[in-house]
């Protein structure tokens, strides 16, 4: 039995994937979504990828993320926050970014799956969940 348990370890850790190289702020914007449907961003214009920015401060967003077990804040500072979200069952990792736009008074968002093609709306649901938690505070 021990042998079969250990044989799952490489599979489960492989679900995390490698952190993306193109993450972060480029020319004052978050990286565009790929053509695949497993990404949403407030900088996108097409309905499949577009999501509204958050009406909150970056500090409020950070406080919400600190209360979520699946969130791990990787980077925070200079109006930018990057977190990794790990799914409970399969341990898939998604990359979620927040960029403060002080001129517009919003927080731009991008949430993307590291692996696969379709996420069954998980990234959109995640951002809408965060939006809901922000309105409760």
pLDDT in tens, 96-114: 999 999 999 999 999 999 9
- Please name each of the domains of the chain with its CATH number: 2-136 (3.30.310)
Question: Residue 117: helix, strand or coil by DSSP?
Answer: coil
Q: Are 86 and 12 in contact (CB under 8 A)?
A: no
pTM for the predicted model, two decimal places: 0.86
Dihedral of CA atoms 44, 118, 36, 116 in degrees, nearest 10, equals 120
Copy the structure tokens of residue 14: 């492989």
pLDDT at 16 (0 to 100): 63
pLDDT in tens, 62-102: 999 999 999 999 999 999 999 999 988 888 999 999 999 99
pLDDT at 91 (0 to 100): 86
């Amino acid at each position: 039995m021990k042998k079969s348990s250990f044989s799952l370890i490489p599979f489960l850790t492989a679900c995390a994937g490698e952190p993306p190289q193109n993450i972060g702020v480029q020319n004052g914007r978050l990286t565009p979504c790929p053509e695949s449907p497993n990404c949403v961003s407030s900088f996108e214009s097409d309905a499949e990828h577009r999501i509204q920015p958050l009406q909150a401060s970056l500090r409020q967003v950070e406080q919400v993320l600190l209360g979520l077990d699946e969130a791990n804040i990787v980077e925070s500072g200079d109006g930018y926050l990057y977190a990794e979200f790990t799914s409970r069952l399969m341990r898939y990792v998604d990359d979620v970014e927040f960029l403060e736009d002080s001129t517009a008074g919003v927080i731009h968002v991008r949430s993307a799956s590291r692996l696969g093609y379709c996420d069954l709306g998980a990234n959109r649901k995640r951002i809408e969940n965060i939006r809901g938690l922000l309105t409760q505070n």
